[in-house]
Amino acid sequence: LPDTLFFTKPQYNTWIELMYNQNQADVLDYARQISKQDFPGGVVMIDDNWQKYYGNFEFKPDRFPSPKSMVEELHAMGFKVMLWVCPFVSADSPEFRELEKKKYLLRWQNGETAMIHWWNGYSACYDLTNPEARDYFISQLKKMQEVYQIDGFKFDAGDNGFYSHAELKAWKSDAISVDHTRAWAEIGLHFPFNEYRACWQMGGQPLVQRLGDKDYSWDAVRLLIPEMIAAGLNGYAYACPDLIGGGQFASFLGIDPNRFDQELIIRSAQIHAMMPMMQFSVAPWRILSPENLSIVREAARLHVRMASYIIRQARHAAATGEPIVRHLAYEFPDQGFETCKDQFMLGDKYLVAPMVEKGNSRVVRLPKGRWKDDLGKIHKGGKSITIDVPLNRLPYYERLCD
């Protein structure tokens, strides 16, 4: 398994709050607010732009005047600390010149170092099909851990589309685009605290898999359940349903904090609560009313209360390959659940029926058998029921033995 803390406590990513302005003061303030607002501690992920430039593994001194003390303080507050990293290297840097000399970078067929277009511009890229380049990259991360006591890394930007150029030349002569994605994913096997968004043929491995960045929208909320089910069926049981409220930063730009759709944030958090992992980024205490903040806090506490069960399901997945988040048709075949997209099973015991659109009522389809709901009421299955779902309710049903 990845480190079990991923399953038992929330993760807090600084991306939506800080975006490209990652800095020591605001990272610490974010963490202090987590504690002040009485949310469960867990993992703090410091996102992109903490380092001097890509390929460099030193904190920006003007933004992080004392990174060692920052990490020490985060640890003292009870958090584990992860840093965002990527395989790209800024051109015209000391690291670029050193790596080019060692022939650790991807090249074009004519022998020149390749400059690959990705979302932050054009950069050189580690050739991780080269064992020496791979070992060197891992050694740089291990050095970060030794110097700053970093617990792990968010491994971003491994998308195979970046490596799909016909003229690209790698150490592995027959490498195709997905081989580079896999080589990037294999780096994470050296770090129990890891997270990926792009993987290839790494199902069943101890890697945290986060869904692709979602918009801040109800359309994105409706995608969480089917995409988490698909991740599990593809072998990625240790999955996180993106960030609560969405991880696509552009969809948050220009929004008046007083006009956030608070219902959307609540329902997103409730879905996460009964998933293998839950991850915050936009700060709920900044955008929610005190009453609604209390509801989201309770969702985080519910996830913590479910921790021992989720860990058992994660270990079951490690032993059998079965997903943690399951389609109802997987668990209850031939009962007509093939097209059900708004309910899921957490393991084999809990049926979860969250709100995935605006409103305060929904229809729940119960499989055959006896079920106890979140309010303690017993239901006979094999039928559909209409229920009230006020904002402070996450409907879920415990499967009872006959």
pTM (2 d.p.): 0.96
Structure tokens at 383: 């039928």
Q: How confident is the model at residue 305 (pLDDT cuts 50, 70, 90)?
A: very high
**What mean pLDDT value characterizes the chain?**
96
Distance CA 300, CA 272 (A): 8
C-alpha dihedral, 43 to 49 to 55 to 60, nearest 10°: -100
Distance CA 269, CA 303 (A): 10
Q: How confident is the model at residue 381 (pLDDT cuts 50, 70, 90)?
A: very high
Q: How confident is the model at residue 402 (pLDDT cuts 50, 70, 90)?
A: low
Q: Is 112 exposed, middle or buried (0-12, 13-18, 19+ CB in 10 A)?
A: exposed
**Average pLDDT, stretch 314-328?**
97
Q: Give Cβ neighbours of residue 129 (< 8 Å, ≥ 6 apart).
A: 170, 171, 172, 175, 179, 180, 183
**Number of other CB atoms surrounding residue 144 within 10 Å:** 19
Q: Is 358 exposed, middle or buried (0-12, 13-18, 19+ CB in 10 A)?
A: exposed
254 pLDDT more than 80: no
**Look-up: residue for tokens 């890394």?**
153
Least confidently predicted of 158-167, 180-189, 245-254: 245-254
Res 256: pLDDT: 77
**Average pLDDT, stretch 207-231?**
96
Res 255: pLDDT: 78
251 pLDDT more than 90: no
Res 258: pLDDT: 76
